[in-house]
C-alpha cells in the first residue's frame, strides 16, 4: 500500500507491503535517515524516539500507517550544524554523549518536553525523560536539559 | 405527691416506647425480608459473579488502580519507567501513554494498544475495593462520569478499550496475554441481564 506523510518538512510517498511495519524501519531503511536508532524494539529504551505532529513517540512501536498525512520529525530535522536546535546546542555545550547511540532519542524526548514545559524542574525531567542510557550520562543530560531550556528562552528574547 | 406522679409516668413511657419500637421493628424486618428475597435470586447473583470475575481480572483491574500508577501483566506489577496517570489519566506532559501505546496492539514491539488508551479516572479506582464496592462505584454517576445504567452498559459492552481485554495481543516475547475468564459474548450477555434485573448488588 501507499502511504504519504511529511518528514523533516519534506513530503514523502512510500510503497510498503505491510502497513504495520514500524515507522522506525521506514525512516532508517527506506528513507535512509540513520539518526533514529533501534535499541530494544519494545518501546522501553527510547532510542527510537521521534516526533509525529510534534509529539514524541517510540517509532519501534508505531505502525507506519498511523503516520499517514502527519508530520514526522527526526533528529536530522530538529536542527543542523549551522542552526542547531537549542537542545542540540546544549548537548554540545555540556559534552553529553559518551558512546552517543541513545542520544538522538534523548534529544527528541527533551525537545518534546520543552515544547510542553519550557522550564522543567528536576522532577519534571525525571517523569518525562525516561529513556535509557547504558553509558549513564544522565547527570550531564540533566544539566543539558536545563541549559536547553535557558537557550530556548534566550532565543525568544 | 411528685414521687407518685413520676411512678405513673414511668410505666406509661415504657409502654409507649415498646409500642413505637414494635411498629418500627416490624417495618424494618419487612424491608430486610424484601431485600433478602431479591438477593436470593440465584440468576442475578450468577450474572453478578461472572461480571465481577471479568472486572476484577488484571486485564481490567490494571488500569483501575487506586494509586494512579498503571499496572502491567498478570501479576499486576507497577508500570515500568515510573509511569503514572498524570493529571488527566494520560501520562505526563511530554511522555504520555500514547508515546508508546497506539490505537491497536503492536505485535512487533509487544506493546498493547486500543483507542483512548489511558488510566481510568481516580474516581473509578477499584483496587482494594470488594466486588460489591466496585459495583457500587460503577453505578454511581458521581464517580462513573455521569453515566446512567444505559451509559454504563454501553461502556462495558461497546467501549473499544474495555473490549480490548479479549484482544490483548502478545507481549514483547511473543507470548499471548491472558484473557478474562469468560468470553466477550458471555460478558456482554451477563452485563445486560444483570442490569435488566435491576442491577442488584448481592450481599456477598
Domains with residue ranges and CATH for chain A: 2-78 (3.10.20.30), 86-156 (1.10.150.120)
Looking at the domain assignment, is residue B91 inside a domain? yes
Q: How confident is the model at residue B203 (pLDDT cuts 50, 70, 90)?
A: confident
Q: What is the pLDDT of residue B29?
A: 43
C-alpha cell at B57: 481480572
Does the beta-carbon distance from A63 to B80 stay under 8 Å? Answer: no
Does the beta-carbon distance from B109 to A42 stay under 8 Å? Answer: yes
Clarify whether residues B24 and B52 are in a common domain: no
Mean pLDDT of B173-189: 97
Clarify whether residues B108 and B163 are in a common domain: yes
Cβ contact A69:A112 at 8 Å = no
A99-114 pLDDT per residue, tens: 999 999 999 999 999 9
Looking at the domain assignment, is residue B202 inside a domain? no
Looking at the domain assignment, is residue B35 inside a domain? yes
Report yes or no: A23 at the B interface, CB cutoff 8 Å: no
Clarify whether residues B110 and B27 are in a common domain: no
Clarify whether residues B35 and B57 are in a common domain: no
Nearest CB among A56, A61, A126 relative to B111 is that of: A61
Mean pLDDT of A48-75: 98
Looking at the domain assignment, is residue B9 inside a domain? yes
Clarify whether residues B34 and B96 are in a common domain: no
Clarify whether residues B73 and B17 are in a common domain: no
Q: How confident is the model at residue B25 (pLDDT cuts 50, 70, 90)?
A: very low
Residue of B nearest to A50 (CA): B99
What's the mean pLDDT when you consider all of chain B? 87
Q: What is the dihedral of CA B21, B26, B28, B30, to 10 degrees?
A: 180
Q: What is the pLDDT of residue B34?
A: 41
Which residues of A fall within a CB distance of 8 Å from B107? 20
Number of domains observed in the structure of chain B: 2
Residue of B nearest to A23 (CA): B108
Q: What is the pLDDT of residue B27?
A: 44
Reply yes or no on whether the pLDDT at B191 is more than 60. yes
Reply yes or no on whether the pLDDT at A75 is more than 60. yes
Q: What is the pLDDT of residue B12?
A: 62
Q: What is the pLDDT of residue A155?
A: 87
Nearest CB among A58, A66, A128 relative to B92 is that of: A128
Which residues of A fall within a CB distance of 8 Å from B83? 130
Clarify whether residues B108 and B136 are in a common domain: yes
Q: How confident is the model at residue B22 (pLDDT cuts 50, 70, 90)?
A: very low
Clarify whether residues B49 and B18 are in a common domain: no
Reply yes or no on whether the pLDDT at B28 is more than 50. no
Does the beta-carbon distance from B84 to A127 stay under 8 Å? Answer: yes
Q: What is the pLDDT of residue B170?
A: 96
Clarify whether residues B21 and B52 are in a common domain: no
Looking at the domain assignment, is residue B123 inside a domain? yes
A1: CB partners within 8 A, 6+ apart: A15, A16, A17, A19, A65
Which residues of A fall within a CB distance of 8 Å from B95? 56, 109, 113, 127-130
Helix (H, G, I), strand (E, B) or coil at A15: strand
Clarify whether residues B132 and B155 are in a common domain: yes
Cβ contact A46:A58 at 8 Å = yes
Task: Tell me the ipTM for this assembly.
Answer: 0.94
Residue of B nearest to A114 (CA): B94
Helix, strand, coil shares of chain B, percent, nearest 5, are: 50, 5, 45
Does the beta-carbon distance from A128 to B95 stay under 8 Å? Answer: yes
From chain B residues 45-74, the ones with a CB under 8 A of any chain A CB are none
Which residues of A fall within a CB distance of 8 Å from B93? 113, 116-117, 124, 128
Looking at the domain assignment, is residue B71 inside a domain? yes
Q: What is the pLDDT of residue A98?
A: 96
Clarify whether residues B88 and B186 are in a common domain: yes
Residue of A nearest to B110 (CA): A42
Domain of B69, in residue numbers? 42-196
Which residues of B fall within a CB distance of 8 Å from A44? 80-81, 172
C-alpha cell at B21: 419500637
Q: What is the pLDDT of residue B93?
A: 94
Residue of B nearest to A123 (CA): B92
Reply yes or no on whether the pLDDT at A2 is more than 50. yes
Q: What is the pLDDT of residue B31?
A: 44
Looking at the domain assignment, is residue B201 inside a domain? no
Mean pLDDT of A50-73: 98
Does the beta-carbon distance from A63 to B106 stay under 8 Å? Answer: yes
CB atoms within 10 A of CB B96: 22
Clarify whether residues B4 and B105 are in a common domain: no
Q: What is the pLDDT of residue B6?
A: 56
Residue B78 parent element (H or E): strand B77-78
Looking at the domain assignment, is residue B191 inside a domain? yes
Reply yes or no on whether the pLDDT at B36 is more than 50. no
Q: What is the pLDDT of residue B168?
A: 98
Residue of B nearest to A110 (CA): B94
Amino acid at each position: 500500500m501507499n502511504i504519504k506523510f511529511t518528514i523533516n518538512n519534506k513530503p514523502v510517498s512510500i510503497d510498503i507491503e505491510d502497513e504495520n511495519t514500524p515507522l522506525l524501519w521506514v525512516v532508517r531503511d527506506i528513507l535512509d535517515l540513520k539518526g533514529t536508532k533501534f535499541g530494544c524494539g519494545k518501546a522501553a529504551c527510547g532510542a527510537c524516539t521521534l516526533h509525529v505532529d510534534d509529539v514524541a513517540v517510540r517509532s519501534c512501536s508505531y505502525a507506519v500507517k498511523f503516520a499517514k498525512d502527519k508530520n514526522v520529525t527526526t533528529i536530522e530535522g530538529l536542527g543542523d550544524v549551522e542552526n542547531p536546535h537549542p537542545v542540540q546546542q546544549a548537548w554540545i555545550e555540556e559534552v553529553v554523549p559518551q558512546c552517543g547511540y541513545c542520544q538522538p532519542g534523548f534529544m527528541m524526548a527533551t525537545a518534546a518536553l520543552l515544547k510542553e514545559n519550557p522550564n522543567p524542574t528536576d522532577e519534571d525531567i525525571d517523569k518525562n525523560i525516561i529513556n535509557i542510557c547504558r553509558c549513564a550520562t544522565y547527570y550531564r543530560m540533566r544539566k543539558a536539559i536545563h541549559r536547553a531550556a535557558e537557550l530556548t528562552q534566550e532565543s525568544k528574547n | 405527691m411528685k414521687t407518685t406522679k413520676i411512678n405513673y409516668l414511668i410505666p406509661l413511657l415504657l409502654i409507649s416506647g415498646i409500642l413505637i419500637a414494635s411498629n418500627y421493628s416490624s417495618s424494618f424486618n419487612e424491608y430486610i425480608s424484601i431485600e433478602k428475597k431479591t438477593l436470593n435470586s440465584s440468576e442475578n447473583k450468577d450474572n453478578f459473579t461472572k461480571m465481577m470475575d471479568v472486572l476484577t481480572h488484571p486485564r481490567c483491574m490494571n488500569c483501575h488502580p487506586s494509586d494512579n500508577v498503571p499496572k502491567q501483566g498478570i501479576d499486576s506489577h507497577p508500570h515500568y519507567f515510573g509511569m503514572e496517570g498524570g493529571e488527566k489519566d494520560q501520562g505526563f506532559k511530554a511522555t504520555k501513554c500514547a508515546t508508546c501505546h497506539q490505537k491497536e496492539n503492536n505485535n512487533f514491539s509487544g506493546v498493547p494498544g486500543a483507542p483512548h488508551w489511558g488510566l481510568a479516572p481516580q474516581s473509578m479506582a477499584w483496587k482494594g475495593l470488594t466486588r460489591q464496592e466496585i459495583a457500587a462505584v460503577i453505578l454511581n454517576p458521581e464517580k462513573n462520569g455521569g453515566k446512567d445504567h444505559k451509559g454504563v452498559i454501553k461502556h462495558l459492552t461497546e467501549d473499544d478499550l474495555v473490549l480490548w481485554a479479549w484482544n490483548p495481543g502478545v507481549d514483547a516475547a511473543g507470548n499471548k496475554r491472558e484473557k478474562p475468564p469468560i468470553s466477550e459474548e458471555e460478558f456482554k450477555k451477563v452485563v445486560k441481564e444483570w442490569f435488566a434485573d435491576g442491577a442488584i448488588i448481592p450481599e456477598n
